[in-house]
Chain A
Amino acid sequence: EAGVAQSPRYKIIEKRQSVAFWCNPISGHATLYWYQQILGQGPKLLIQFQNNGVVDDSQLPKDRFSAERLKGVDSTLKIQPAKLEDSAVYLCASSPFGGAPEQYFGPGTRLTVT
């Protein structure tokens, strides 16, 4: 079974630029999560989708971050404009609906904002 795929793996941009991250969850997984992990901290949930509907986006900085999940499969997280404090690893995870609550994580995208 293929795991969660993310791209790119690394991205370096200047502040005020925009960036987008892509995630392809495990086939059949209805729930998709985006997390932000700052060095030395645990992952912080940004947004949770159930199929293509948003379940929780209370910690998503909506003035600069946006996310969508078209057709309930792939998802894209965008930052526009980026700030220095957005430097972090962005993790995508997925889990099956109605089953055990474990989450399966992708390798993450390391973003550096200069």
Chain B
Amino acid sequence: LAKTTQPISMDSYEGQEVNITCSHNNIATNDYITWYQQFPSQGPRFIIQGYKTKVTNEVASLFIPADRKSSTLSLPRVSLSDTAVYYCLVVGYTNAGKSTFGDGTTLTVKP
């Protein structure tokens, strides 16, 4: 079971790039890294997933070093609406395994 560690909180300003790092030292060979965004009174929303190197989609990039013991979610040019809690979750490829969320990172974007 891959335990994850993230900073509790981060502050940023509109228009800046934000990088949130997650540590997952005991990640298994078949595990994928996923990131979620959660607003108050809503369920988490899937943002991005990756196995190694770099993945980019329309909302974020995910950087994973060769040892895969950490990952960094990069949000380009954040806006006030990006204020939310961000979670990384390590999960087995077939989902047939335990998945545990940490307490996430509360990102506050200021004007």
Please report the C-alpha to C-alpha distance between residue A110 and residue B41 in the assembled complex, in whole angstroms: 9
The verdict on B103 contacting chain A, using a C-beta distance below 8 Å, is yes
| SS class, residues of chain B in contact with chain A | loop
The verdict on A111 contacting chain B, using a C-beta distance below 8 Å, is no
Please report the C-alpha to C-alpha distance between residue A14 and residue B44 in the assembled complex, in whole angstroms: 28
Residues of the B chain whose Cβ atoms lie less than 8 Å from the Cβ of A104: 46
Residues of the B chain whose Cβ atoms lie less than 8 Å from the Cβ of A41: 103
Q: Contact between B98 and A105 (Cβ–Cβ < 8 Å)?
A: no
Q: Contact between B104 and A101 (Cβ–Cβ < 8 Å)?
A: no
Considering only residues 77-111 of chain B, those with a C-beta below 8 Å from chain A are 87, 89, 91-104
CB distance from B22 to the nearest CB of A (A): 12
Q: Identify which of A43, A45, A102, A106 contacts B46 (C-beta below 8 A).
A: A102
Q: Mark B4-36, 1 if CB is under 8 A from A, else 0.
A: 000000000000000000000000000010101
17 other A-B residue contacts (CB within 8 Å) besides A48-B95, A101-B49, A104-B46: A42-B101, A42-B104, A43-B44, A45-B99, A45-B101, A55-B96, A56-B98, A58-B98, A91-B44, A97-B94, A98-B94, A101-B34, A101-B92, A102-B46, A103-B89, A107-B43, A108-B43
